Structure 1
Amino acid sequence: MRLGGVLSRRREGRDCPLGWRSGPLAEALSRTLGIARLLLLGQRIHSVTCPARRPRRRWGTHPPTGRLQHRNAAAGPLVLSWPCALQCSIDGDGRVGVGADPVSSPLRQEAILREVRLNGSVNVTRIAAELGVSAMTVRRDIAVLAHHGLVTRVYGGAILPRTKPALRSNVPTVPERSRTFVLGMVVPRRSAYYREVIGGVQVVAQGTGSRLMLGVSAYGDERPQVEDMLNAGVDGLLLTPRPDTLRSAEEAAWIRELPVPVVIVERRPEPAAGLDQLDRVASDHARGTVQALRHLVELGHRRVGLLASATPTAVWISRGFDISRAIFTLPAGAPCVADHVAYDFAAVDTFIDALVSTGTTAVVAHPDEQAALLVQRVRARGLAVPDDLAVIAYDDDLASLAEIPLTAVAPARHAVGRLAATRLVQRLREGSRHVVQESLLLPCLAVRASTSRRSLPFDMSDPSTAA
């Protein structure tokens, strides 16, 4: 029988298992009717039972009314249980306690769908509180329902589908490739670097008729930005998380649980993060560094230093630098700093001292602002660029505008954004048929005056003359 039937029969004194016309049980059940209707989801009540440790009561012809009486107070409260995991307990003084175990995914989705059909909409925060689950869990359920066309995701929840299914099978449907989406994008900052990445995403958004929604994390926790975008109803996300987030399964757990498709941009998650099911598009900074070292070696340089500020890119530059030294058998001893503090003039002067004392003739500096500052300080010492020291900048935002135009490694940032957005739209259209891909784009080397060819002090063909 349904819960409403149980209550009505109790009130009328008919067909009642315990026979109460009034009292705390009827009042308790009445007070919990609202939440019970939601959690029962139209299911029938299979049983009204007492705990196994408590013997079944047998009432006389005149059942008690008013306050619930216990023969043995130590036996504990009476507990009413339903298959939906709702529990209502009544202690010896008639006090009522209501609780619910976590509701399974199919039941949650049925509850959400019923709420939408009854009221025309559902609010994520409110339904999550009623079901006793997190808002993120409800959003995942809404995403599943939306995928099957049962609801339409909107800011803060869901509404009835905007379009009804065709009544006749011969009515042509909208082609899959003509669907448009709302794409969310979270970047660490609005720098020149990410402006180009964003520009590439905008090209795809405009080409597909989609809308781009942008958030900036300022290298902090990205989750508030992501929450806002999910509430606004984005269909997919382009994320550039903090590197720490992508090193372990625990840190990356919230990304795996997102209810919409995600593409990781300009980051390369560690295998331990467990994000193998996500597409990722990034610049291959390690290979870009190898290009820079190859160029310097071809110009005759053997002692090459590294000066890099502490950025997520610097990690891959350092790896590429180590790979290059092994490939080109470069001698050790040249100064290598991968955690330089930007605009620390004293540290730059100390680095230059190390260059001079070790006979280093070339440097890769990251970013290009740091490279320009290095050139200024070197020239202030009376050294010539590139005759005494060749300099390659990693990044090409301002390198061409320096007093001596800098040779620079230029990541394909616009192409990264364009390809990442293409992957996201592709995944939204293909669904489960999509093949996860990792794309690494090679930077290009722009050769300028800071590394113009110098006269070689030794014969490159004779290794014995190499410094």
Structure 2
Amino acid sequence: MREPVDLRRQRILAAVQARGTARVRDLADELQVSVVTVRRDVEELTREGRLRRGHGVVRSTLPAQEVPAKSTADGDRVAVVVPERHSYLTETLHGARTVLEEAGVRLALHIAPQAAGAERPLVERALADGARGLLLAPRWNTLAAEEADHGWLSALEVPTVLMERRPRRGSTPHVLDSVCSDHWYGAHLAVEHLVELGHRRIVFATRDDSPTARTLRSALAEIAGAHPLVEEWAWALSTPESGPEGPYSADETAELPVLLRKTGATAVVLHGDVDALMIVQRLAGDAVRVPRDCSVVAYDDVVAGLATPPLTAVSPPRAEVGRVAAELLLERLREGRGHAARRVELLPRLMVRGSTQRVAVEEPGPETP
């Protein structure tokens, strides 16, 4: 997933201000972009007076005494462990990295493969390498996988913050710091938007293979079930491979066009973005027009705006989750032990685009004389 230009330039600025001087090639390697891209960004930041260019190097415009003070020692290192091929967490990682670089803290990134328990050996390796703090986002495809990690997570002896992960209440790692999006509120935004447009029958097609997916499914069911204006709703897997928990009923694994016809639904909420784009394509192949025949709200907003039509989407604050998590971890590194754990929730936003519209009201035909 291509990083937004503004975010990349913020990271360049933070890296240079933290060090005073940086080589263009080093910045390109760190950001995993071309040297040409970094040069263009540096030129723009130079025009804005925020950087100074040299031959192959970039310098901060702040005097040495004004360069932001490092909040922790130069030798500090923080390990970040995230799942492989997880585009949702990419922006979260960038948000955390920006904060850590501004503080002068080295970040060691570890990518966990798609296997149960893959995070634990990576964490052990990071601690052996000298990591003094951890930012973690375990994959947790199933509840069993989550529970299997509870023991070693609760035994960690360094400051640890979970990102977009919240262990169940009363479990041993319940006391860990965590920063999450409020996915209940995101579900609320999606349902209220559709109800305000006159939709009374809604299908929810979501994944069921992560803490976010499970929270979202539960929230949608709760909100729709209690809403006085929702006449009927149904839930189904967005794709067959997105539900490792099972077993599921026939309706819960039905093709979406079939379920829409069965329920008479005029709207659908889809999680996540890639599944949403593929389902919209499938609907078009079944002569279901979006939004004329069916309004669509995606959940994640990673690539929803690139669809045709662009999809209305619930957008969790991914980068902000990373920033807040990193700030909380830095605070823990400064304070040490003895402070009450924090469970921070950040509110998503609804991005209204072209895939939702008001339900068409059929005009009465002419009266027969």
TM-score between both structures, scaled by the size of structure 1 = 0.56
Unpaired runs of at least 5, structure 2: 1-68, 244-251, 364-369
Preserved CA contact (<8 Å) 2:206 2:237: yes
Structure with max Cα Rg: 1
Partner SS, residue 107 of structure 2: strand
Q: Deviations over 1:6-62 (max 9, x none)?
A: xxxxxxxxxxxxxxxxxxxxxxxxxxxxxxxxxxxxxxxxxxxxxxxxxxxxxxxxx
Partner SS, residue 432 of structure 1: coil
Say whether residues 1:353 and 2:258 are aligned partners: yes
Q: Give the match for residue 272 of structure 1.
A: 170
After TM superposition, give the deviation of residue 277 of structure 1 in Å. Answer: 3.1
Change in CA separation of 1:429 and 1:176 when aligned onto 2, cut-off 3 Å: farther
Preserved CA contact (<8 Å) 1:246 1:273: no
Measured in 1, the distance between the counterparts of 2:306 and 2:241 equals: 19
Partner SS, residue 170 of structure 2: helix
Measured in 1, the distance between the counterparts of 2:204 and 2:259 equals: 11
C-alpha RMSD over aligned residues: 2.5
Query: Share of identical aligned residues, percent?
Result: 38
Say whether residues 1:314 and 2:225 are aligned partners: no
Which one of 97, 101, 106 corresponds to residue 202 of structure 1?
97
Q: Give the match for residue 285 of structure 1.
A: 183
Q: Deviations over 1:417-451 (max 9, x none)?
A: 01111111100101135332100111111101000
Partner SS, residue 452 of structure 1: coil
Which one of 335, 345, 365 corresponds to residue 234 of structure 2?
335
Q: Give the match for residue 24 of structure 2.
A: none
> Quick check: 308-317 or 363-372, which moved more?
308-317
After TM superposition, give the deviation of residue 241 of structure 1 in Å. Answer: 2.2
Q: Give the match for residue 274 of structure 2.
A: 369
> Quick check: 216-225 or 204-213, which moved more?
216-225
Unpaired runs of at least 5, structure 1: 1-174, 459-467
Partner SS, residue 301 of structure 2: coil
Preserved CA contact (<8 Å) 1:183 1:235: yes
Measured in 1, the distance between the counterparts of 2:73 and 2:338 equals: 17
Q: Deviations over 1:330-349 (max 9, x none)?
A: 556533114732599xx987
- Note the 1:41-440 alignment, pairs <5 A: 177-180=71-74, 181-220=76-115, 221=117, 222-243=119-140, 244=143, 248=147, 251-312=149-210, 313-331=212-230, 333-338=232-237, 340-341=239-240, 350-440=255-345
Q: Deviations over 1:105-131 (max 9, x none)?
A: xxxxxxxxxxxxxxxxxxxxxxxxxxx
**Bigger relative CO (Cα 8 Å, ≥ 6 apart):** 2
Change in CA separation of 1:374 and 1:411 when aligned onto 2, cut-off 3 Å: same
Change in CA separation of 1:176 and 1:449 when aligned onto 2, cut-off 3 Å: closer
Measured in 1, the distance between the counterparts of 2:319 and 2:100 equals: 13
Measured in 1, the distance between the counterparts of 2:216 and 2:72 equals: 41
Measured in 1, the distance between the counterparts of 2:152 and 2:242 equals: 36
Partner SS, residue 216 of structure 1: strand
Change in CA separation of 1:245 and 1:416 when aligned onto 2, cut-off 3 Å: farther
Change in CA separation of 1:224 and 1:193 when aligned onto 2, cut-off 3 Å: same
Partner SS, residue 275 of structure 1: helix
Preserved CA contact (<8 Å) 2:240 2:253: no
Preserved CA contact (<8 Å) 2:180 2:345: yes
After TM superposition, give the deviation of residue 282 of structure 1 in Å. Answer: 0.9
Measured in 2, the distance between the counterparts of 1:400 and 1:176 equals: 38
Measured in 2, the distance between the counterparts of 1:365 and 1:190 equals: 20
Measured in 2, the distance between the counterparts of 1:256 and 1:349 equals: 40
Change in CA separation of 1:409 and 1:242 when aligned onto 2, cut-off 3 Å: same
Change in CA separation of 1:289 and 1:389 when aligned onto 2, cut-off 3 Å: same
Change in CA separation of 1:351 and 1:429 when aligned onto 2, cut-off 3 Å: same
Preserved CA contact (<8 Å) 1:201 1:421: yes
Q: Deviations over 1:290-333 (max 9, x none)?
A: 11000000000010001112331221111111222134235565
Measured in 1, the distance between the counterparts of 2:286 and 2:313 equals: 23
Q: Give the match for residue 132 of structure 1.
A: none
Q: Give the match for residue 442 of structure 1.
A: 347
Measured in 1, the distance between the counterparts of 2:149 and 2:90 equals: 27
Change in CA separation of 1:343 and 1:404 when aligned onto 2, cut-off 3 Å: farther
Partner SS, residue 353 of structure 1: helix
TM-score between both structures, scaled by the size of structure 2 = 0.70
Change in CA separation of 1:275 and 1:338 when aligned onto 2, cut-off 3 Å: same
Q: Deviations over 1:211-254 (max 9, x none)?
A: 11111112432111011101110010111124347854x74111
Preserved CA contact (<8 Å) 1:314 1:338: no
After TM superposition, give the deviation of residue 452 of structure 1 in Å. Answer: 2.8
What amino acid maps onto 1:288 in structure 2? G
Q: Deviations over 1:144-164 (max 9, x none)?
A: xxxxxxxxxxxxxxxxxxxxx
Measured in 2, the distance between the counterparts of 1:380 and 1:176 equals: 56
Partner SS, residue 214 of structure 1: strand
Partner SS, residue 416 of structure 1: helix
Partner SS, residue 310 of structure 2: coil
What amino acid maps onto 2:124 in structure 1? E
Measured in 2, the distance between the counterparts of 1:354 and 1:271 equals: 34
Preserved CA contact (<8 Å) 2:208 2:242: no
Preserved CA contact (<8 Å) 2:161 2:179: yes
